[in-house]
Amino acid sequence: QKFKVVVTRQLIDEAQKLLEDVSDLDVVQWPSEDQPAERSWLLDNAQGASGLLVMLSDKVDQELLDAAGNDLKVIASFSVGTDHVDTAVLRKRNIRLGYTPTALTDAVADLTIMLTLMAQRRGGEAIGKVIKGEWPKMPWSPLLMTGPQIGGSTVGFLGFGRIGQATLKRFIPFGIKRARYLTSKPGQPAKEDHFGLLKEGKIPIEPAQNWEQLARESDVVIIGCALTPDTKHLVGKDFLAKMKKTAVLVNIARGPVVDTDALVAALDKEAIFGAGLDVIENEPNIPADHPILKQPRCVLVPHIGSATIETREQMATESVKNLLAGLKGEAMVNEVQL
Ligand code: GLV
Ligand code: GLV
C-alpha cells in the first residue's frame, strides 16, 4: 500500500533525499522553497493523504482535516510552536502530531541574546543613525547612545521551557544577578531543569508569584511561552505599566502574546527602555508605515529565531522522520502529547 503525503515546501537536500528514498510514498509537494503553499492548493491536494508535513504558516484546522479524509494519520510540523494546529480536532480524530522542539533551542536562544543586547544597547537605533549619515553630528560623548548593562540585571522569563532555560544558560556568564520565571503554574518550581541550571544554583533562579511580580522586578523580560488563549495579550497595557522604565522586552515566542498597540504606546511614553522582537501580531504583513517601525528603541526582525543553517537542516530532517514514524506507527523524534 502506498501512502500519500503532502509536503508544503521544498526541503533542504538531506531531508528531501530522506523523503524521496522511501519507496512506498506518493509525495505531493508544493514547488516553492520560499513561498508558502496556497490554501486552495493544500485543500485540493490533501484529499486521501495519510500524512501532512506543514510549516507554521499552514493552518491545520477542521477544514483541512475534512478535506484530507479518514486516511490521515499524522501531521509533522516544521516548528516548535503548534498554535497553527487545532490540537483538539487532532485528538478527537486520533491523528498524531510531530514537531521539532529540540532542534531549534540553541538557535533561538542565540537570537534572544542578540535581541536583548540590541534592545539594551540600542543597536537598531545606532546602526540607523550611521546609515543615515548622522554620525558626523554626534561626536563621541560620555552619554552618547548609552543603555542599561546586562551584567547585574534581573532577567524575567515568561514561559520557562527549553528555549528560556537555554537563554538563561547563556546569560549567566554575562553576570546577571538573578532570574525569575513565570509558567502556567505561578509560584511553583519549573517542572523540568533542562540544563541542570536550577540544581547548579550559580545565581538565584526563582518562580515569580504572578505576572505583576515578574514585570515589576525584571530588567529584561523574555517572552518564551506558547501562544494559548491564556497568553494572548498577556503583555498589554497593565503589564507594560508595571515594568521598569529601564527595562527591555524581548519576544521570541508568538506575536499575539504582546498587544502591539500597547507596546507602541509604552515606547512612545518611554515607559520602558526598549524592545527586541522576532515576532509580531499580523506578521508578515508589516508595511513600512507600521507604527512599530517608527520606534527607534524597538528592533524588529522577521521571525528568524531558528534560522541557522544547521538548525533548519535538522528541523527538516526531523520533520520527515516524524512524518515517516507517524505513518508506520513508530516513535517520533518529538511528538506532541495531545
Ligand atoms: C518558530 O517560531 C517555530 O515555532 O518553529
Ligand atoms: C510555560 O509557559 C512553560 O514554559 O513551562
> What's the CA-to-centroid distance between 302 and ligand 2, angstroms?
23
Atom of ligand 1 nearest to the CA of 77: 5
**Cβ atoms of 297 and 74 closer than 8 Å:** no
- How far does CA 338 lie from the centroid of its chain? 20
Same-domain status, 176 and 245: yes
Question: Among candidates 230, 237, 271, which has minimal Cα distance to 254?
Answer: 230
Residue closest by Cα to atom 2 of ligand 2: 159
> What's the CA-to-centroid distance between 338 and ligand 1, angstroms?
18
Whether residue 161 has its Cβ less than 6 Å from ligand 1: no
- Sheet strand arrangement including 274-277: 205-207, 178-182, 154-158, 220-223, 248-251, 274-277, 298-300
Same-domain status, 76 and 162: no
Whether residue 190 has its Cβ less than 6 Å from ligand 1: no
Same-domain status, 68 and 152: no
Q: What is the pTM of this model?
A: 0.94
Same-domain status, 186 and 214: yes
**105, 225, 234: residue to mutate for ligand 2 pocket, most atoms within 8 A of CB:** 225
Query: Domain containing 97: what range?
Result: 3-102+309-328
pLDDT in tens, 166-175: 999 999 999 9
Q: Write phi, then psi, for 207 (nearest 5 degrees).
A: -70, 145
Q: Is residue 91 part of a domain?
A: yes
Q: Is residue 335 part of a domain?
A: no
> What's the CA-to-centroid distance between 275 and ligand 2, angstroms?
21
Same-domain status, 273 and 315: no
Residue 179 has pLDDT above 90, yes or no: yes
pLDDT in tens, 215-257: 999 999 999 999 999 999 999 999 999 999 999 999 999 999 9
The secondary structure of the chain, three-state, reads CCEEEEECCCCCHHHHHHHHCCCCEEEEECCCCCCCCCHHHHHHHHCCCCEEEECCCCCECHHHHHHHCCCCCEEEECCCCCCCECHHHHHHCCCEEECCCCCCHHHHHHHHHHHHHHHHCCHHHHHHHHHCCCHHHCCCCCCCCCCCCCCCCEEEEECCCHHHHHHHHHHHHHCCCEEEEECCCCCCCCCCCCCCHHHHCCCCEEECCCHHHHHHHCCEEEECCCCCCCCCCCECHHHHHHCCCCCEEEECCCHHHECHHHHHHHHHCCCCCEEEECCCCCCCCCCCCCHHHHCCCEEECCCCCCCCHHHHHHHHHHHHHHHHHHHHCCCCCCECCC
Same-domain status, 203 and 292: yes
> What's the CA-to-centroid distance between 32 and ligand 2, angstroms?
34
Whether residue 251 has its Cβ less than 6 Å from ligand 1: no
Residue 48's contacts (CB-CB under 8 Å, 6 or more residues apart) are 4, 68, 69, 71
ipTM, interface predicted TM-score of the complex: 0.69
Q: Is residue 271 part of a domain?
A: yes
**Cβ atoms of 283 and 312 closer than 8 Å:** no
Atom of ligand 1 nearest to the CA of 100: 5
Whether residue 123 has its Cβ less than 6 Å from ligand 1: no
**80, 257, 312: residue to mutate for ligand 1 pocket, most atoms within 8 A of CB:** 80
**Cβ atoms of 121 and 147 closer than 8 Å:** yes
Whose atoms come closest to the Cα of 306: which ligand? Answer: 1
**Cβ atoms of 111 and 277 closer than 8 Å:** no
Residue 1 has pLDDT above 80, yes or no: no
**Cβ atoms of 316 and 78 closer than 8 Å:** yes
Cβ < 6 Å from ligand 2: which residues?
159-161, 183-184, 225
Is 290 in the active site? no
Whether residue 252 has its Cβ less than 6 Å from ligand 1: no
Residue closest by Cα to atom 3 of ligand 2: 159
Same-domain status, 160 and 172: yes
Same-domain status, 234 and 135: yes
CA dihedral 203, 206, 212, 218 (to 10 degrees): 10
Whose atoms come closest to the Cα of 162: which ligand? Answer: 2
Per the prediction, the chain carries an average pLDDT of 97
Same-domain status, 88 and 165: no
Whether residue 82 has its Cβ less than 6 Å from ligand 1: no
Same-domain status, 174 and 252: yes
Q: What is the structure's pLDDT at 180?
A: 98
pLDDT in tens, 258-307: 999 999 999 999 999 999 999 999 999 999 999 999 999 999 999 999 99
Q: Is residue 18 part of a domain?
A: yes
Q: Is residue 338 part of a domain?
A: no
State the total domains in the chain. 2
Whether residue 95 has its Cβ less than 6 Å from ligand 1: no
Same-domain status, 258 and 295: yes
Q: Write phi, then psi, for 220 (nearest 5 degrees).
A: -135, 130
Q: Is residue 12 part of a domain?
A: yes
Q: Is residue 337 part of a domain?
A: no
- How far does CA 248 lie from the centroid of its chain? 18
Residue closest by Cα to atom 3 of ligand 1: 79
**Cβ atoms of 128 and 122 closer than 8 Å:** no
CATH of the domain at 127: 3.40.50.720
Residue 146 has pLDDT above 90, yes or no: yes
Q: How confident is the model at residue 47 (pLDDT cuts 50, 70, 90)?
A: very high
Q: Is residue 334 part of a domain?
A: no
Atom of ligand 1 nearest to the CA of 99: 5
Same-domain status, 54 and 131: no
